[in-house]
Amino acid sequence: MGNPMAGDHFQYEDAPVSQTLKDNISLLKQLYFLHADDLNIQSLDFNCALAYLKELIDPAIINENVLPAIARQAEGVRDTQKPLMLEGIRYADSMRDISLSILNGDIAFFVEGQSRCQLIPSSKVSKRSLNEPSGEPTLRGSKVGFVEDISTNIALIRQRLKTPRLKLRKIEIGTLTRTSVAFLYIESVADASLVETGWMRLQSLNAIALQAEQQLFEAIQKHDHKYSLFPLLDVTERPDRIVGNLLKGHIAILVDGTPFAIIGPVQLLTLIQSPEDYHFSPYLGSFIRLLRLLAIFISLLLPSLYIALTSFHQEMLPTKLALSIQQGRVSVPFPSIMEAVFMEGAFEILREAGLRLPKMLSSTTSIVGGLIIGEAVVKAGIISPQMVIVVAITALSSFIIPSYNLSVALRLFRFMFIILTGFFGAFGLMWGIMMLSMHLVGLRSLGEPYLDPIAPIRKNGFYDTIIRAPFSWLLSLAKKNS
Amino acid sequence: MQNKLTITPSQTIALLSLCIATEAYSYAPSKMADLSGQDTWIAIVVAIMFGMLLLSYYAWLAKKFPTQTLIQYTKTLLGPFVGRVIGALYVLYFMLISSLYICRISVGFQMTFLPHTPVFVLIVMTLTFCVYSALQGYNAVARLGVLAAFLLFGVNNIFLTASVISDINAANYLPFLGSSLGDIGTSSIYYLFPHSQFIFLTMLYPFIQKQRKIGSYITWRTTLVVFVASFLNLATVGLFSARQLAMLHYPPVELSRMVEFGDFFERMDVLFVTFYGAGMFIAIGTVFTVFISSLNQLMERKNGYRGLLLPASVLLLLLSLILFRSEKQMVQFIFGQGIWIAICFQLILPGLLGIVFLIRKERLCNGQNG
């Protein structure tokens, strides 16, 4: 298959439902399901037939509900023209719609002499049970994560937001996959222009296949910035996180077949939030958020700061610290930039290895990488112990950041900063910071400033971003805003 | 959604303050101390007061043409030919200022920290930042400017000034008016003209939201911020004697070196240099954006200035390499020809424009009504 996001080359031909049963069956077999051996046509005695894909439906529904209902209809009123007494039955008069419904797991019921077809819902979807999301574990709060089935995910949100103001617009994306996508927002909480922006971007998506939420993510994000490394939307598998964002006036997008939902708009500071911040006291919640903010700076700048201070501006260091660092570096043959690139590179390899290996082996990798190699390179005099400390603190800091996408972006920028500082010292570092700040300040997520509430400064915005203010404050602020 | 070009009055204040105050930290205090001795503080205060008047005047002039920049309304006031000539001169002036700002940070960093790096490389890097700022537009530069101004003036300067206040010797400010009024006046001119780009208000005005606030709001607040920003320079006068001050290269950096926290934090100048660098970069970004947009307006291009960025950058690079090859050359220019050029473009030409407006006021009003 080519590019799944390319335009629609697979338009289905359409035809009306004929009054002749034979013609309908033949059209279905020849035009829509040619060489589809799993299509089952079940002809019945009463001049009618059922058509369905046998792997997609629940056979019990046919045997226990559909066939008895047809029999009752035929025997009782002697009229198969009337609708079957079954729940959720629909009519269709286009063969194209009928074929699509069959693909969705419906049973098509054709009757001789009738120019409409009855569609009986009977899809059989294998679902996994609800588990704690592995990528976003929390100490406190809900332990339920999304699953691959969109209906279950919608139900998880509806259970937590019992208001008719929670609006849900559905759309099918992908001419081949026809993936169900749900667009959610709370009416009068979410800004109307934001909702329309999000919905229009979703509708404008023209794809052959939609298999992962990342396709939607990139397609929506490109309207704000095509090439930014920073995530301009967020992804989560936690229903409580989706609900929290909907309550803040954001929009959410669920995609069938993936447990990950998209949230927008996001700001840099909202990416350091975690649902459990609201399960702790405001003091602890605020402290943790400030800690994460500090972690962002450490993760991004610590190795380059170390390089700048040890290679270019030793006079800036306090005397005792400068002496201590110098002692550690006596036997090291490389400049700090080489040390940093080597250690950071080795750490990235270890991290990837840890992710791909089975869980039991990943801990072994950590021990081998972290302890054994770390100690060996220091003993061999290749790397200074200070650099090992710097890389370790940087790595730990990057793990604190809740958003994986943000964490990855920071990792890439860290390397850029290391190279800039390695060549130009503090000037390179400052230049890099200013370029990055200029980039960040120009970014928008669904049209909203990415650095809000810092740039532009919005006083009320700080209560639930850098700090986690008490609920009473947040409530009065929400009332004031509404 | 905010327009990429529009800025708020507060953001205007931040940009103006950064363009005015960051430059005044480097060479001005020593040069002024050499001339006006212990009365340098009076010269600083006088310069700020005069700057306020200048800003009020620019605001008054800009209000007459709320949708036009200086480059555009010179044509309305002086006719297409003369207006275009004056506009072109202003574009050249903005180019010169941009080059000066770019060289100041590039040459300054090269001399202080990177003696083995060719200054060409640092100029190219600074120009890259300028181009990126211009691409992002006034709005992005201004939003970052608010942050930089807050950190530099609001946190750093107040903190440093408060830290050294006990060490300030009041006797260093005395005797009052020990220098002649002429020296104090010249010293004020040193502080005001070569560094302070109040004229940028006339270029930013059409992009400001809520223009009714513009007059007194921006004038007062910008003056206040510049005054706060000048605390550091005022403190250097009290901290060092006039003779010492005249010999120092970067007096505010020397001041920040005097602040220590216990045995460990002995080099607080890192903090100052960091925030100062950030402020300088924003000021450079603003100056370059003003230059490129003025060039665009002079050429009356309808498609924006994106296409001008590369040729303008190359031109600036060449100019910077030719004009200011060393710090000595730069200082000589700033306090030599630079003062006259600045007086011409910030005082004489705007003054003439104001006079022409008053003379042609009725005709202009009739023209607008018609």
Query: Can you give the pLDDT at residue A6?
Result: 44
How far from B286 is each of B11, B14, B16, B140, CA to CA, in Å?
A: 12, 11, 9, 10
Q: Does B261 touch chain A (CB under 8 A)?
A: no
Residue B133 falls inside a structural domain:
yes
Strand A48-53 relative to strand A39-44, pairing: antiparallel
Residue range B105-120: mean pLDDT, rounded: 85
Q: pLDDT for B339-364, tens place per residue?
A: 899 899 989 999 999 999 998 877 77
> What one-character DSSP code corresponds to residue A51?
E
Whether A443 and chain B come into contact, CB under 8 Å, resolves to no
> In angstroms, rounded to a whole number, what is the distance separating the alpha carbons of residues B241 and A382?
51
Q: Does A462 touch chain B (CB under 8 A)?
A: no
pLDDT in tens, B73-102: 999 889 889 999 999 999 999 999 999 989
| pLDDT attached to residue B63 | 87
Across the interface, whether the CB atoms of B277 and A425 are under 8 A apart is answered no
ipTM of the complex: 0.89
Map out the domains of chain A as residue ranges: 21-121, 150-266, 280-449
Q: Residue ranges of the alpha helices (H) in A31-149?
A: 59-61, 67-76, 95-103
Question: How big is chain A by its Cα radius of gyration, in Å?
Answer: 29
Pairwise CB contact (< 8 Å): B273 & A426:
yes
Confidence of residue A243 (pLDDT cuts 50, 70, 90): very high
Q: How many helices (H) and strands (E) does chain B have?
A: 19, 0
pLDDT digits (tens, 9 = 90+) for B242-283: 788 888 878 888 888 888 777 666 677 777 777 888 888 999
**What's the average model confidence in pLDDT over A137-156?**
87
Express each pLDDT in A81-102 by its tens digit: 667 777 788 888 888 888 888 8
Per-residue model confidence (pLDDT) at position B184:
87
Q: With an 8 Å Cβ cutoff, is A456 touching chain B?
A: yes
Task: Tell which of A297, A321, A430 to mutate to test the B interface (max B CBs under 10 Å).
Answer: A430
> B186 CB contacts (<8 Å, ≥6 apart)?
B35, B36
- Averaged over A115-144, what is the pLDDT? 81
Q: What is the pLDDT of residue B265?
A: 66
> Hey, is A91 helix, strand or coil?
strand
Contacts for B110 with CB less than 8 Å, ≥ 6 apart: B117, B119, B122
The predicted model gives A329-357 an average pLDDT of 86
Q: Mean pLDDT for chain B?
A: 85
Please give the share of chain B, as a percent, with pLDDT higher than 70: 93
A385 at the B interface (CB within 8 A)?
A: no
Query: What pLDDT is stored for residue A482 in this prediction?
Result: 63
Work out the mean pLDDT of chain A and round it to a whole number: 85
Query: Which domain, by its residues, includes B364?
Result: 9-147+177-221+282-369
pLDDT in tens, B282-335: 999 999 999 999 999 999 888 888 899 999 999 999 999 888 778 888 888 888
- Total number of domains in chain B: 1
Residues A220 and A159: beta-carbon distance below 8 Å: no
pLDDT of amino acid A8? 47
Closest Cα in chain B to A421:
B114
CA distance B107 to A89: 79
Mean pLDDT, residues A367-377:
77
CA B65 to chain centre: 23
Mutate to test the interface with A, among B105, B144, B266 (most CBs of A within 10 A): B144
